[in-house]
């Protein structure tokens, strides 16, 4: 059993969805990002996706794109992602990394996997690496006991849903809508339909991302998904309130949402 | 699991969000269907002939060639195409595919504006909505091309994220595409990006090399010793290289933007300063730092100012079939001036990099084989015309004095006028 298997089993036993929080490493600076992951872990996040800031984040909307730019401008270096992963682990949540492929490729996929595992990371989500291109990463993840997590999208065919789910461990990242990351007023319909289609091909936990920003939406998604992923809305509160008070409040609201 | 699609050795592939895979497969199918449909081929050929003005001429330039060590130099005149560059070849093909797929909207990225203008042109011709993403820095520098696109009915969206240049315009176009992929085709302007773009765009441009090969055989009775082209993303180069790929006696030379010199760090020479990586959906050479972050680039030529390069070029580089070398801003501008003065042809600054490279290649070939009875033959792809670059060139050569510059800046402040149009992307 991996740490991800454990946490989803525990949430299932509690008859609730997991709260999966995304925060970029190094935003707005390294120390604040470490404090931020501790804050969301304390406020009820079960899994924390530690984002790797990248110069060309083409899957991300303006909030995360700007956070990445600021982190890089403030001197973020790739190896610092492991410091943040370690902080998540120490705070009692399950850390996974979310990274575009090129930083990992440049670092060396096997070396990255080894260092991530050593820091206590449970796996990695790869927004621009589909299983078709992931032989190298999957081998590295296998070698170091990490869970590879790939995305499915509303446009995925049933064949691709099956192929992608088979390549995942830990959970499957269900991208609720066609589009980039960012808060949306509605995430309902297409997400539920895609979760249903994905359930038909896998027993893995399904976590829904893209667009959730309130406790109300979290509760809505928690009715049909095993995990609720929140990113841009959390990242925005860090920018607006670097004392992290609003981050704690929103995380607590979301944690109540997944328990409704 | 599916086999990796669209590989050139270890390069190429599809490093994209899952959400785009369905659209890439739809595009791949539509393209292959079209290849099997004689009506598609006839329609594209008709547009090339009656709209673009193909075949483009092959012009021998003997006065220019006096500076190339005794080689004979021929220019493939893509500069004479409608819209002023080779870009229209690919744009017309993809616009026809857009109509075949039943999509009503095209989006495109552009750096200097040439691909954006070509896309706006084809969209007007075929009745498609058109949105062009352009780095904010470039929209300011290239205000005249922004106006051209708007005259043609396109919406131009300035992109202010990241470095606010071409690579960021591609990011923004990808974001639009992933959101609107149901009714939108991303009309990518060069031979990079996820499969099938590198192969498809190359094939739409391969008409350049097919014509050039026939023309040079007709004129000289033999194949050229070398073919030269500038390489930004690399579409004009792939277009002319492709027809010569199985002629081992023809050397293929790509010239990248050396900017202020590779040692200065201010350049866009991917094969001198880059390493294999992934950018914008393709595995290829990328200018990046030790953490895999994309590095900023510099070139006097907006169309070559890009941190990555088409994956087939990466393959041709690694296999040694083609060679790539940087050309500095200064060398390119010297070649620009030389062609103007000796032949009465104003090239795009992008294409001037190929001209500078051809001078080197001609001299080297002559040294290697000094036979006055059989001078080396060099074909250069003159990918674009330089009317648009007049302002940049005038400043470079000091052809406008300080008072003119002050007055021009005043006019600019009152009413935006282009500093340069650019001719690449």
DSSP string covering B129-153, please? EEEEEEEHHHHHHTHHHHHHHHHTT
Within an 8 Å CB–CB cutoff, is residue B167 touching chain A? yes
Beta carbons of A58 and B174 less than 8 Å apart: yes
Residue B37: pLDDT above 90?
Answer: yes
Residues of chain B neighbouring A66 (CB-CB closer than 8 A): 161
CATH architecture type of domain B7-49+87-197: 3-Layer(aba) Sandwich (3.40)
CA distances from B334 to A212, B337, B340 (A): 57, 5, 10
Instruction: Classify burial at B127, counting beta carbons within 10 Å of its beta carbon; exposed 0-12, middle 13-18, buried 19 or more.
Output: exposed
**CB of B107 within 8 Å of any CB in chain A?**
no
By three-state DSSP, how is residue B421 classified?
A: coil
pLDDT at residue B412 tops 90: no
Instruction: Tell me how close the Cα of A132 comes to any Cα of chain B, in angstroms.
Output: 6
Q: Does domain B55-84+206-391 have CATH number 3.20.20.70?
A: no
A83 as an active site residue: the answer is: no
Position B280 scores a pLDDT of: 97
Query: What beta strand segments (E) does B355-399 contain?
Result: 377-382
Q: Would you say B349 and B281 are in contact if contact means Cβ atoms under 8 Å apart?
A: no
CA dihedral B276, B280, B282, B286 (to 10 degrees): -20
Q: How far is CA A54 from CA B21, B294, B296, B298, B343, in A?
A: 22, 8, 13, 20, 47
CB B234 within 8 A of CB B350: no
pLDDT of residue A177: 82
ipTM exceeding 0.90? yes
Question: Above 90 in pLDDT, residue A190?
Answer: no
- pLDDT tens track for A36-63: 999 999 999 999 999 999 999 999 999 9
Q: Cβ contact (<8 Å) for B286 and A102?
A: yes
A93 pLDDT above the threshold of 70: yes
Task: Say if CB B299 and CB B259 are below 8 A apart.
Answer: yes
Number of other CB atoms surrounding residue B394 within 10 Å? 15
Q: Are the C-beta atoms of A207 and A172 separated by less than 8 Å? A: yes
Q: Which among B239, B275, B267, B274 has a CA at the least distance from the CA of B254?
A: B239
A46 close to A19: Cβ distance less than 8 angstroms: yes
Helix (H, G, I), strand (E, B) or coil at B26: helix
Specify the higher pLDDT residue, B142 or A60: A60
Q: Where are the alpha helices (DSSP H) in B181-231?
A: 197-220
Mean pLDDT of all residues belonging to chain A: 96
Mean pLDDT of B161-165: 86
Residue B342 or B6, more confident: B342
Q: Among candidates B298, B90, B283, which has minimal Cα distance to B200?
A: B90
> What value does the mean pLDDT take over residues B299-324?
95
3-class SS of residue A45: coil
pLDDT of residue B20: 95
pLDDT at B402: 62
**Is there a contact between B383 and B351 (Cβ–Cβ < 8 Å)?**
yes
The pairing of beta strand B72-77 with beta strand B58-60? antiparallel
Q: Hey, is A198 helix, strand or coil?
A: helix
Those residues whose C-beta lies under 8 Å from the C-beta of residue B320, and which sit 6 or more positions away, are none
Interface of A with B in 113-142 (CB under 8 A): 127-133
Domains identified in chain A and CATH numbers:
3-259 (3.20.20.70)
Whether residue A164 and residue B18 make contact (CB cut-off 8 A), yes or no, is yes
Residues of A in contact with B278 (CB under 8 A): 101-102, 105, 128
Indicate the average pLDDT of chain B: 93
pLDDT for B422 equals 44
Helices A30-42, A232-240: axis angle to 10 degrees equals: 120
Indicate if the pLDDT at residue B388 is higher than 90.
no
Which residues contact residue B354 at a Cβ distance below 8 angstroms, ignoring those fewer than 6 apart? B228, B229, B230, B255, B380, B381, B382, B383
Q: What is the predicted pLDDT for the residue at B415? A: 54
DSSP state, residue A5? H
pLDDT of residue A203: 98
- B207: pLDDT confidence band, cut at 50, 70 and 90? very high
List A164's β-bridge partners, or say none. Answer: none
Q: Single out the residue of B348, B329, B339 nearest to residue B386, CA to CA.
A: B348
Best of B17, B170, B294, B296 to mutate (most A CBs within 10 Å, chain A): B17
Residue B264 in tokens: 């200065």
Locate A219 and state its tokens.
């509760």
Question: Is-contact B104 B86, C-beta < 8 A?
Answer: no
The percent of residues in chain A predicted with pLDDT above 90, rounded, is 93
Condensed to tens digits (0 to 9), the pLDDT of residues B60-102 reads: 999 999 999 999 999 999 999 999 999 999 999 999 999 999 9
pLDDT tens string B180-203: 999 999 999 999 999 999 999 999
pLDDT score, position B418: 44
Answer yes or no: are the C-beta atoms of A169 and A198 closer than 8 Å. Answer: no
Q: Residues of CATH 3.40.50.1100 domain(s) within chain B?
A: 7-49+87-197, 55-84+206-391
- pLDDT band at residue B165 using 50, 70 and 90 as cut-offs: confident
pLDDT at B58 over 90: yes
Contacts of A56 in chain B (CB under 8 A): 162, 167-168, 171, 279-280, 294
- Say whether pLDDT at B330 is over 50: yes
């Amino acid at each position: 059993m991996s740490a991800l298997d454990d946490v989803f089993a525990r949430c299932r036993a509690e008859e609730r969805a997991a709260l999966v929080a995304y925060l970029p490493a190094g935003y707005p600076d390294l120390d604040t990002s470490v404090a931020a992951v501790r804050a969301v872990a304390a406020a009820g996040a079960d899994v924390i996706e530690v984002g790797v800031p990248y110069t060309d984040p083409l899957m991300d909307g303006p909030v995360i794109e700007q956070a990445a730019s600021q982190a890089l401008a403030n001197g973020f270096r790739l190896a610092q992602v492991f410091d943040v992963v370690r902080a998540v682990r120490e705070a009692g949540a399950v850390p996974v990394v979310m990274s575009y492929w090129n930083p990992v490729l440049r670092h060396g996929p096997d070396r990255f996997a080894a260092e991530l595992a050593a820091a206590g990371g449970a796996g990695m989500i790869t927004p621009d690496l589909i299983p078709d291109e992931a032989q190298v990463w999957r081998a590295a993840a296998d070698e170091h006991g990490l869970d590879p997590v790939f995305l499915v999208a509303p446009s995925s065919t049933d064949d691709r849903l099956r192929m992608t789910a088979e390549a995942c461990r830990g959970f499957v990242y269900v991208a609720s809508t066609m589009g980039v990351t960012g808060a949306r007023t509605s995430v309902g319909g297409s997400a539920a339909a895609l979760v249903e289609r994905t359930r038909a091909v896998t027993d893995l936990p399904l976590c829904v991302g893209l667009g959730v920003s309130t406790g109300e939406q979290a509760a809505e998604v928690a009715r049909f998904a095993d995990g609720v992923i929140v990113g841009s809305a959390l990242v925005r509160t860090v920018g607006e309130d670097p004392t992290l008070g609003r981050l704690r409040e929103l995380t607590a609201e979301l944690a109540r949402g997944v328990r409704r | 699991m599916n086999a990796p699609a669209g590989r050139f050795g270890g390069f190429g592939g599809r490093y994209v969000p899952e959400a785009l895979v369905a659209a890439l497969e739809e595009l791949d199918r539509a393209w292959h269907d079209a290849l099997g449909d004689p009506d598609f081929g006839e329609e594209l050929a008709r547009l090339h002939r009656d709209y673009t003005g193909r075949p483009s001429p092959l012009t021998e330039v003997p006065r220019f060639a006096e500076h190339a060590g005794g080689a004979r130099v021929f220019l493939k005149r893509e500069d004479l195409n409608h819209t002023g560059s080779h870009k229209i070849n690919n744009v017309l093909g993809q616009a026809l595919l857009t109509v075949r797929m039943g999509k009503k909207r095209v989006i495109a990225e552009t750096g200097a504006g040439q691909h954006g203008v070509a896309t706006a042109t084809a969209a007007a011709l075929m009745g498609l909505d058109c949105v062009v993403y352009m780095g904010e820095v470039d929209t300011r520098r290239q205000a005249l091309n922004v106006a051209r696109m708007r005259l043609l009915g396109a919406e131009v969206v300035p992109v202010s994220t990241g470095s606010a240049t071409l690579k960021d315009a591609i990011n923004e176009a990808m974001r639009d595409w992933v959101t609107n992929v149901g009714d939108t085709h991303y009309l990518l302007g060069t031979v990079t990006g996820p499969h099938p773009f590198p192969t498809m765009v190359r094939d739409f441009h391969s008409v350049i090399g097919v014509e050039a090969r026939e023309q040079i055989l007709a004129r000289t009775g033999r194949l050229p010793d070398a073919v030269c082209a500038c390489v930004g993303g690399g579409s004009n180069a792939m277009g002319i290289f492709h027809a010569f790929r199985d002629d081992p006696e023809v050397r293929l030379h790509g010239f990248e933007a050396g900017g202020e010199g590779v040692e200065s760090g201010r350049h866009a020479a991917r094969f001198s300063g880059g390493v294999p990586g992934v950018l914008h959906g393709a595995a290829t050479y990328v200018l990046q730092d030790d953490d895999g972050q994309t590095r900023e680039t510099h070139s006097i030529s907006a169309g070559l100012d890009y941190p990555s390069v088409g994956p087939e070029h990466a393959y041709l580089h690694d296999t040694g079939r083609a060679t790539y070398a940087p050309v500095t801003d200064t060398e390119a501008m010297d070649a620009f001036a030389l062609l103007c003065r000796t032949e009465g042809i104003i090239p795009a600054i992008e294409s001037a990099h190929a001209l500078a490279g051809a001078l080197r290649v001609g001299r080297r070939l002559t040294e290697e084989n000094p036979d006055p009875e059989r001078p080396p033959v060099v074909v250069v792809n003159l990918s674009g015309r330089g009317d648009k670059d007049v302002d940049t060139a005038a400043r470079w050569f000091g052809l406008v004095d300080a008072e003119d510059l002050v007055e021009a800046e005043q006019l600019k402040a009152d009413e935006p006028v282009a500093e340069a149009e650019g001719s690449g992307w």
